C-alpha cells in the first residue's frame, strides 16, 4: 500500500496545516514539542531551542515544499483513469518518498543536536515509552485471528478508497477483498523489528558523547531504517507493495465518471489548501 499510504501521509500533513486556516502553521512548534513530550520530558532550555528550530523549519517548508506539493497536485490532476498503471504508481510512490526524505534531511541536524543533549534519565524515559508503544501494538494485533486480520485490512482499504473515490461499487469491493486476502502477514515481523530498533536506539544513545560513533550510527538509523529489517521481512514488504500497486491500478482504472470527479474534487481541495498556505 506504499503509494496510497504515502499519499495519505502527504495529505495528512496538509490536513494538519489547514486546520483553522493558519493555526497549525503558526503553532507548529507547540504541536511538535507536545508530541516529543509524549516520549520524553524535555527541560525548558531544550524546549526553547526546539521551538526556535521548528519555527525556522516551518518557514523553510512554506517557502520550499508547498510549491513542490502544488506542482505535484497539478500533475495528479492531469491523470485520467487509464493512466493509473503499475508503472505510474511506482513512480508516484517514489515521488512521495522524496517529499518525506527532504523533510528528514532538513530536520536531521536538529534531531542530531537534541539527541546529544539528552540526559541519562531522559534516554531511559524515551526507551521505556517507546517500548510501551510497541507493546500496545503487539497487544492489539499479534493475537487476532487470520480472518479478523484480513477484515481489518479490508476495512482500512475501503475507508481510504472511499475517501478519494466516494461510494465504492460491488465489483470494486470485491477487488478490495481480493487485495486484503493477498497481503502477507507481517505482524510478527514488526514486533521483531520494534525490539531490534529499541536495541539499536539504546546503543546509539549510549554513544551520544562519542562523536565519531554517534554520527555514523545516527545517520544510518535516520536514513536507512530498512537496514534493521530481516531479509524475510523485507521480502514480504516488497511483495505487499507490488500487490498494492496492482490492485490500486485496477481500482483507479475502474473509476466511473462520478468517482473520477470525486477524486478530482479532492485533489483540487488539497491543492487549494497548499496554495492558501503558501500565500499567507
- The per-residue pLDDT for 160 is 94
- The per-residue pLDDT for 59 is 87
When pLDDT is cut at 50, 70 and 90, the band that residue 77 belongs to is: very high
Q: Which tens digits make up the pLDDT trace of 201-236? A: 999 999 999 988 899 999 988 888 889 999 999 999
Q: Whole-angstrom Cα distance, residue 126 to residue 204?
A: 13
> Which of these, 106, 114, 109, lies nearest to 48 by C-alpha position?
114
- The per-residue pLDDT for 3 is 44
Handedness of CA 179, 184, 185, 191 (dihedral sign): negative
- The per-residue pLDDT for 280 is 77
Q: Whole-angstrom Cα distance, residue 42 to residue 113?
A: 13
- The per-residue pLDDT for 29 is 63
Q: Show contacts of 177-184: CB within 8 Å, 24+ apart.
A: 178/247, 179/153, 179/243, 179/244, 179/247, 180/150, 180/151, 180/153, 180/154, 181/150, 182/243, 182/247, 183/150, 183/153, 183/240, 183/243, 184/236, 184/239, 184/240, 184/243
Residue with cell 518525506: 100
Assign 232 to helix, strand or coil. Answer: helix
Q: Whole-angstrom Cα distance, residue 163 to residue 172?
A: 14
The distance of Cα 116 from the centroid of its chain, to the nearest Å, equals 25
Q: Is there a contact between 187 and 116 (Cβ–Cβ < 8 Å)?
A: no
- What pTM value is reported for the model? 0.86
- The per-residue pLDDT for 25 is 52
Q: Which three cell numbers stand for residue 86?
A: 503499475
Handedness of CA 166, 168, 172, 173 (dihedral sign): positive
Q: Which tens digits make up the pLDDT trace of 29-66? A: 666 777 788 889 989 999 888 888 888 888 898 899 99
CA dihedral 202, 206, 210, 215 (to 10 degrees): 10
- The per-residue pLDDT for 2 is 42
- The per-residue pLDDT for 161 is 96
Cβ neighbour number for residue 170 with a 10 Å cutoff? 7
- The per-residue pLDDT for 16 is 44
Packed helices 66-77 and 86-117: angle between N→C axes, nearest 10 degrees? 160
Q: Which three cell numbers stand for residue 18?
A: 489547514
Buried b (16+ CB within 10 A) or exposed e, 184-218: eebeebbbbbbeebbebbeebbeebeeeeebeebb
- Tally of helices (H runs) and strands (E runs) in the chain: 13, 0
Residue 6 has pLDDT above 60, yes or no: no
When pLDDT is cut at 50, 70 and 90, the band that residue 11 belongs to is: very low
Q: pLDDT averaged over the chain?
A: 88
Query: Which residue did the predictor score with more confidence, 124 or 15?
Result: 124
Amino acid at each position: 500500500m506504499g503509494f496510497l499510504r504515502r499519499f495519505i501521509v502527504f495529505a495528512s500533513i496538509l490536513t494538519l496545516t489547514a486546520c483553522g486556516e493558519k493555526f497549525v502553521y503558526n503553532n507548529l512548534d507547540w504541536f511538535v514539542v507536545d508530541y516529543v513530550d509524549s516520549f520524553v520530558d524535555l527541560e525548558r532550555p531544550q524546549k526553547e531551542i526546539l521551538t526556535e528550530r521548528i519555527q525556522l523549519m516551518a518557514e523553510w517548508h512554506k517557502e520550499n515544499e508547498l510549491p513542490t506539493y502544488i506542482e505535484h497536485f497539478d500533475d495528479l490532476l492531469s491523470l485520467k483513469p487509464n493512466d493509473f498503471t503499475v508503472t505510474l504508481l511506482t513512480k508516484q510512490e517514489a515521488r512521495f518518498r522524496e517529499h518525506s526524505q527532504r523533510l528528514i534531511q532538513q530536520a536531521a541536524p536538529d534531531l542530531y543536536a537534541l539527541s546529544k543533549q539528552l540526559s541519562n534519565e531522559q534516554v531511559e524515559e524515551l526507551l521505556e515509552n517507546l517500548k510501551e508503544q510497541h507493546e500496545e501494538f503487539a497487544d492489539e494485533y499479534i493475537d487476532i485471528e487470520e480472518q479478523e486480520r484480513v477484515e481489518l485490512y479490508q476495512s482500512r482499504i475501503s475507508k481510504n478508497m472511499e475517501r478519494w473515490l466516494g461510494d465504492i461499487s460491488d465489483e470494486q469491493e470485491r477487488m478490495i477483498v481480493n487485495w486484503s486476502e493477498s497481503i502477507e502477514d507481517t505482524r510478527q515481523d514488526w514486533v521483531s523489528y520494534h525490539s531490534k530498533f529499541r536495541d539499536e536506539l539504546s546503543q546509539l544513545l549510549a554513544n551520544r558523547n562519542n562523536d565519531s560513533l554517534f554520527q555514523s550510527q545516527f545517520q544510518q538509523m535516520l536514513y536507512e531504517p530498512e537496514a534493521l529489517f530481516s531479509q524475510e521481512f523485507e521480502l514480504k514488504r516488497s511483495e505487499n507493495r507490488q500487490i498494492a500497486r496492482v490492485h490500486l491500478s485496477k481500482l483507479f482504472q475502474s473509476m466511473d465518471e462520478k468517482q473520477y470527479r470525486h477524486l478530482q474534487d479532492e485533489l483540487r481541495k488539497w491543492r487549494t489548501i497548499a496554495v492558501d498556505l503558501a500565500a499567507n
